[in-house]
Chains A and B, each alone.
Chain A
Amino acid sequence: MLRYLALRLLTVVPTLLVIATLAFVLLHLTPGGPFDSDHHLLPQIQHSIEARFHLDEPLWRQYLRYLGDLARGDLGPSYQYRNTSVNHIIATGLPVDLIVGGTALSLSLLLGGALGLLAASHPGTFLDRVPMSVASLGMAVPVFVVAPLLILVFALRLHWLPSGDWVAGSWRHVLLPALALALPYSAYIARIVRASALEVMSSPFILSARAKGLPTHTILLRHALRPTLLPLISFLGPTIAGVLTGSIVVETVFGLPGVGRYFVTGALNRDYTLVCGLTLLYGGLIVLCNLGVDLCHAWLDPRVRRAL
């Protein structure tokens, strides 16, 4: 098991290297550069700016320089936010996304899990159909509709919560964006939990547990719960990485200073270092979450554990 963990951790480095290389090459292949502007710069000035950021060097040397900086944990200077390093942008923006995303994840697990189990325990009844219809709606309605509606109801009409902005340490400012982000995920989770629970409850080993005469709560907690969680955990791996790195829509609507929108604005501005840095962050999180998923699988499923 430890050997497996060590091996998996070792693969993280080459994976990140591939991600960094792909991001670097793709960004440099895109037409246009970070300092193109409708104020056409004099060639000499353009050159001095490019020299300042080593953009005048051959691409292979820029690449090696970039890898060298990465090895030291330096993601480089942002080209658009002058005087600011990518490390600093991520260090100030990521906590916002971690708080909002973490709250959203907890909310969606609570809400989705409860609804899914409720539906699964009453299959085909009113208590199944209503939560599942609501879940379908939750998946279908995009965040850019849900978020303004939440603002309309809770901020503009009821005046319960602020309509946006970020105040460090204020839970009131976290609630609406977290809810907007959580609703679609709750819907997915509810459906996954319901399907998985129904499948597990009708499987032969549960039947034999029933045949043995075990009480329902023992069947649910000791035998059914763990296999039910398996598909949910597979789903949560990439989801956690996505939720924690922010959402451009939620950040825009609520005016949050997170890092999610830089995925788009950074790419449009050809802010190579910023986009590479964020891609690495996202890639690294995905790799780690997937590792976590595999470990959870091993813990939950003895068959997987034996295969390791």
Chain B
Amino acid sequence: MSRALPGRLVALGLLALSGCGAGTPAPGDAGESLRVGSSLAAEQELVRAIDGGGVRTLDPALSTDVPAEHVLDDLFEGLTRLDQAGEPAPGVASSWESSPDGLTWTFHLRPALWSNGVTIKADDFVYGWRRTVDPKSASDVAQMLAPVRGALEISAGRAAPTTLGIEAVDERTVRVHLTAPTPYLLALLAKAYTYPQYAPAIEAFGENWTAPEHMVGNGAFVLREHVIGGRLTLTRNPQYWDAPRVHLTKVVYLPLDRAVQTDRFFAGDVAFTDSFSAEQTAWLRSRLGSQVVSAPYLGNFVLGINAQRPPFAGNRALRLALTMAVDREMLVRYVRQGLYQAAWTPTPPLSGYPAPVPAWASLSALERHAQARRYYALAGYSAAHPLRVELDYPTDTDNRRTYEAVAAMWRTNLGAEVSTYNAEFRVQLGERHLRKLALFHYAWIGDYPDPYTFLQLFRAGNGYNDGGYYSGRYEALLAQADAEANATRRLQLLSQAEAVLNDDVACIPLYYYASRHLIKSYLRGWTSNIQDRNLSQYLYVLAHEGR
């Protein structure tokens, strides 16, 4: 997922001086107030802010960034779409069934049209998926289709795109062949890289097909304007199969720096922000009340440990001492303003997944520290011979605060001398991939709501296994889970594998991310969800006075 770009240097905190406010019922609201009625507003238009980095491409076969994901959610629709709660629900496919071994899925398409009025056929999905994995497209999301039979071989240029495990049985039936049972398939089908693609527009206009005048989509909205690095204007798509239930007639996406988003929210220009500065949480809550929205997000903030380099190689006692000596509640409360949730295991809470929290997590802080000191001594360190190690992280103010606090905890609780060192993101990434770093920033945003998106990172051969972790037992449990068609048993196997990871202290989980938005009280139809995706087709504006 993309990172925020450095527009953050602009200290708009100054606007804290502003006397403007909005919101009902906003406690302590001293400025102009916003009065919200219960009927629909006559004008159903919305301005949403997205990350200041802006949309890099609207080509579903190429898009990787979060801002584009929000826009593509409105412009296209896959076999499934996310419902209001963020769960996969029927999209272009109205129904589906899978074979008992979970390897073959058959999707039945509803009568649906492209934005130019042409009927959507099964072949449009086949074309789109093949285009995504075709090496000629040079797509860095191609490997996300890995569960589909043949996808990796095609991406590697060892097989023709026509061998991909997707076929059009007839005009209204799509069949997908998988390499392994993939319980999160329905979530993948609501992702951009599995959308149908309209071949005539792509063939006719080449790379230019995503321009508003050429783009043909099948979502609830169509693209009217796209200023590179600037605003995107969408209007309701009358051809969309569920168009009668779409309230908004126009959606504008504005790429804005985080601090600027807050300012524009107060000005009444933006009704739904992408984020706000964590430092302003208390002040924003006092001003805006329930318009400040924060919820768990599918991402973890973890410290990676290099299992192959000293001092951590073969020294479980030391790894255990370090992870036990971190006060996660303090971190969350004082460094992250209570927005995030303390993490004891890499996978964030997911419904139906029994997360394996280590037993020592339930000890009191004092007991934990005492145990940590015992392990620290057992590992061969003492006040006379303290641990000296460097902690590396990509340059970012939030990262710096967190890691300086963690280093201070280790100094106080163990006497360890951990120095922190930051470098620009890509420089640090390169060093990490070469496994040069001993202790490093290792945060991850999940690609789909399933533990595997986090657990795969510790697999042997995974390109992201920068700590070089290896455990035969872990590999065996994951291989078993791969082959398991029963969803509940699979999750149990994954949980056992994650317990192995925790037992080995393969990493030091610190906390789970949270999404954070400012949402005008007149805007309804959204639901906080772990993927933080709210489709504009569900949103509506209530009648209101004030901005």
With A31-B430, A152-B18 already in contact, 4 other A-B pairs whose C-beta atoms are closer than 8 Å? A81-B228, A82-B57, A147-B10, A252-B52
Distance (whole angstroms) from the CB of B433 to the closest CB of chain A: 7
Residue A83 interfacial (CB < 8 Å): yes
| Contact B56–A80 (Cβ < 8 Å) | yes
A165 at the interface (CB under 8 A from B): yes
The 16 listed contacts between A and B (C-beta, < 8 Å) are: A37-B429, A40-B433, A44-B156, A48-B135, A82-B62, A92-B227, A148-B11, A157-B20, A163-B269, A165-B231, A252-B9, A252-B257, A255-B255, A256-B230, A257-B228, A265-B5
List the A side residues contacting B462 at CB < 8 Å: 40
Q: Which residues of A contact B (CB under 8 A)?
A: 31-33, 35-42, 44-45, 48-49, 51-53, 80-84, 88-89, 92-93, 144-145, 147-149, 151-152, 155-157, 162-166, 248-249, 252-253, 255-257, 261-262, 264-265, 268, 270
Q: Is B425 an interface residue (CB 8 A)?
A: yes
Known: A44-B155, A252-B260, A257-B231. A32 touches B267 (CB 8 A): no
Q: Nearest CB to that of A90 among chain B residues?
A: B228
| CB-CB under 8 A for A165 and B254, given A41-B143, A148-B15, A262-B229 | yes
Known contacts A88-B228, A265-B53: A82-B59 contact under CB 8 Å: yes
| B469 shortest CB reach to chain A, Å | 14
Known contacts A148-B15, A265-B6, A270-B426; is A40 also within 8 Å of B463 by CB? yes
Q: Is B282 an interface residue (CB 8 A)?
A: no
- B residues near A270, Cβ cutoff 8 Å: 426
- Inter-chain contact A42/B155, CB cutoff 8 Å: yes
Residues of chain B within 8 A (CB-CB) of A163 are: 263-264, 267, 269
| B392 → A minimal CB distance (Å) | 14
Cβ of A32 and Cβ of B257 under 8 Å apart?
no
| Smallest Cβ-Cβ distance to B146: which chain A residue | A42
Identity of the chain B residue whose Cβ is nearest the Cβ of A41 in the assembled complex: B140
- B256 to chain A: which residues have CB within 8 Å? 164, 255
Q: With A44-B155, A164-B264 known to touch, is A37 a contact of B17 (CB < 8 Å)? A: no
Residues of A within 8 A of B53 (CB): 265
CA distance A19 to B155 in the complex (A): 38
Q: Which of A31, A38, A49, A147 contacts B427 (CB 8 A)?
A: A31
A37 to B266, CA, bound (A): 35
Instruction: Report the bound CA distance from A249 to B6 in whole Å.
Output: 10
The residue in B64, B155, B210, B263 that gathers the most chain A C-beta atoms within 10 A of its C-beta is B263
Query: Hey, what's the 0/1 contact readout for B431-473 against A, CB within 8 Å counting as 1?
Result: 0010000000000100000000000000000111000000000
A45 adjacent to B229 (CB under 8 Å):
no
Asked if B429 and A32 make an inter-chain contact with CB atoms under 8 angstroms apart, the answer reads yes
Assuming the A-B contacts A93-B228, A257-B227, A265-B6, are A156 and B140 also in contact, with contact meaning beta carbons closer than 8 angstroms in the complex? no
Alpha-carbon gap, A89 to B18, bound state (A): 35
CA distance A265 to B260 in the complex (A): 17
> Using Cβ atoms and an 8 Å threshold, which residues of chain B touch A155?
267
* A31/B231 in contact, CB under 8 A: no
